[in-house]
Structure 1
């Protein structure tokens, strides 16, 4: 029993001596575990807080960098901006920023892309304002708002009349055009033009900007002629007809001057070729009048005595060069004359532009009488 009691006491004393220690240990471990968990948590929170603040400020800075500055509103003042041929939207953006129209080139490229107009910017001069919003600047670059004069030059005008028309329509001095017309090397004339602009200032409608000089305008007209000559195959077609390109242009100018309408042009061209082929004098009133610097459809007897090289009643063959600036229809007629044996034509009714053709002298005399009758009754 003592043994049993002793054993119990001994066991109890061991349990008694260990139990408090175990509970305290567990409590201490729990305390330590709580402290050990909270510390990393706090460190993470502090770290994340720092990252968050840095991220916020970093985002704010990045947004400022990535979003270019822009003006607001429609701007003020006036500035003329030129978009040159071949410039991209980025090139235009740089020009606008440099001239103080937009705050940033990047702002403009973004605005023009948003508007879907990056590829629709057209060359020309535009009236803009300074310090405009990029979106407002895009609107003012509409091609319909370009600063230009639209000048139409009719077919068959002599060079002198062409220059006068250009001076009147553009407000530039006539002497500027006259001087520029003499500097033929700068105009890009083809070699076969023999250094003369007459016949090669192509008649068409031209958009002329304020910055274009007289030489720029005449160069544009010669360029248009060169394009037409390339399209029509002028050189090769002339060779096939046994003539030089310059001779074809001379024929075309006479066709233009003598024809009452487009339908008559191939027939008038045939008359010219038939006369040249049979070594007849052309006997064209239009060439005589050109040589005398006069206007009219019928030369007088006095006019016919002129010794001008353009007097085709006196000289055989073609005159020295074109007598006007023919259009594409006249050029086409000179290259593609109608088939026929006609060697005369008479504009029997000038008011209505009626021209009749004859292959015999008797027919010609009847047509001439008809013309005299109509002229007398007019």
Structure 2
């Protein structure tokens, strides 16, 4: 099966969901000669599917929405695994595990079920104790070189190992203690920030809104958590979505959701550890295409921002 069919099948179940504008960042999966085995980290960057020459580009696989698929090249040639070329794959910031497993399955030819099984094996993953056996949030974004002989567990373990490096770089454990939170709670906050922010510069402000609402015993009322609980994608949760009894429905439940809702990058983790100073309790994405978000510290100002957004998009 060629890469077009593989990725079409991978994303078919999400094709009808509402999608935000393309994030404008791209992930390239390059075939390499099998001269090295193992997995090498390159850099954190963009997204996940188009085949162009010998390069497979996976586009639009953000935490908010899956992308479209087109292409002509084979990502996984029909040859024995040990004779296949290595491929380089980039995990986008905010990508959910459910998306990641489908992309990895398409590129390696291994069933999604094998990645799901490996994700539950603590002895293979090397998760820190504070992860409580949860992989979501710990498959760190970055670019990885995959040897064709690597098992799903080895692939995921490498991503967890890269998270360990990021945890040290951001001083996650000590920072969480100073914030009065567990490291898992910090990662959960970071994952929400990653999903909600249109621009990196807004991340510390969004983190501050989350802390302010938690400190005031207010519901977070964040659409991205609701959609995660429903395994949906979109710009915002719809009215019927808000009726969900999922533990991720922060419109009905107080406090943080039970786990991260995606895999955040360095910027989001740093924002969760060091939020901006401010009294904001609300934010509204005025222009999703440009990622412009405005903040408010009162219900009246929030209402004005909603009216500004609706007027701009002609919904009122």
**TM-score category, normalised to shorter length:** 0.7 to 0.9
Q: Distance in 1 between matches of 2:240 and 2:120?
A: 31
Aligned partner (choices 281, 285, 290) of residue 343 of structure 1? 281
State the match for 2:200 in structure 1: 262
Contiguous gaps of at least 5 residues in structure 2: 1-33, 40-83
**Partner Cα distance (1:148, 1:300) in 2:** 42
Residue of 153, 159, 174 corresponding to 1:236: 174
Q: TM-score, normalised by structure 1?
A: 0.61
8 Å Cα contact 1:344-1:359 kept in structure 2: yes
1:11-26 superposed matches below 5 A? none
Which residue, 159, 183, 188 being the options, matches 1:245? 183
Asked if the contact 2:205–2:275 (Cα under 8 Å) also holds between the matched residues in 1, the reply is: yes
Displacement after TM superposition at 1:305 (Å): 1.1
What is the CA distance between 1:180 and its match in structure 2? 1.2
DSSP 3-state at the match of 1:347: strand
Higher helix share: 1
Deviation, 1:374, is 3.3
Q: CA deviation at 1:246?
A: 0.4
Deviating beyond 6 angstroms after TM superposition, the runs of 4 or more aligned structure 1 residues are none
In the alignment, what sits opposite 2:258? Answer: 320
- What SS does the aligned partner of 1:376 have? coil
How many residue pairs match? The answer is 240
Q: Deviations over 1:255-303 (max 9, x none)?
A: 0000001000000000001111111110101101111111112212211
Q: How far off its partner does 1:82 sit?
A: 5.8
Corresponding residue of 2:134: 196
SS in 2 for 1:163: helix
Which residue of the other structure, out of 171, 192, 199, is the alignment partner of 2:109? 171
3-state secondary structure, aligned to 2:289:
coil
2:122 to 148, 171, 184: 184
SS at match of 1:320: coil
Contact 1:309 1:319 in 2 (8 A): yes
Structure 1 distance, partners of 2:184, 2:94, is 16
Which of the residues 265, 271, 279 maps onto 2:209?
Answer: 271
Deviation at 1:171, TM superposition (A): 3.0
Q: Which residue of 1 aligns with 2:239?
A: 301
Return the offset for 1:168. 1.9
SS in 1 for 2:234: coil
Shift of 1:81: 6.7
Shift of 1:371: 2.1
> Which of the two has higher C-alpha Rg?
1
Deviations along 1:12-63, one digit per CA (max 9) or x if unpaired, are: xxxxxxxxxxxxxxxxxxxxxxxxxxxxxxxxxxxxxxxxxxxxxxxxxxxx
SS at match of 1:238: helix
State how far apart, in whole Å, the 2-side matches of 1:163 and 1:314 are.
30
Maintained 8 Å contact 1:288/1:303: yes
The answer to whether the Cα contact below 8 Å between 1:282 and 1:312 also exists between their aligned partners in 2 is yes
Q: Which residue of 2 aligns with 1:225?
A: 163
The alpha-carbon deviation at position 158 of structure 1 amounts to 0.8
| Pairs within 5 Å for 1:60-209 | 147-209=85-147
CA distance in 1, matches of 2:37, 2:260: 37
Q: In 1, are the aligned partners of 2:193 and 2:206 still within 8 Å (CA)?
A: yes
Q: Unaligned stretches of 5+ in structure 1?
A: 1-79, 86-145
Where 1:265 maps in the other structure, the secondary structure is helix
For residues 84 and 195 of structure 1, what CA distance do their matches in structure 2 show? 24
Q: Give the structure 2 partner of residue 64 of structure 1.
A: none
Are the equivalent residues in 2 in contact too, given 1:184–1:197 (CA < 8 A)? Answer: no
TM-superposed CA distance for 1:233, in Å, is: 1.1
RMSD over aligned CA atoms reads: 2.1
Shift of 1:227: 1.0
How far apart, CA to CA, are the structure 1 residues paired with 2:134 and 2:314? 39
1:47 is aligned to: none
Q: What is the distance in 1 between the residues matched to 2:89 and 2:158?
A: 12
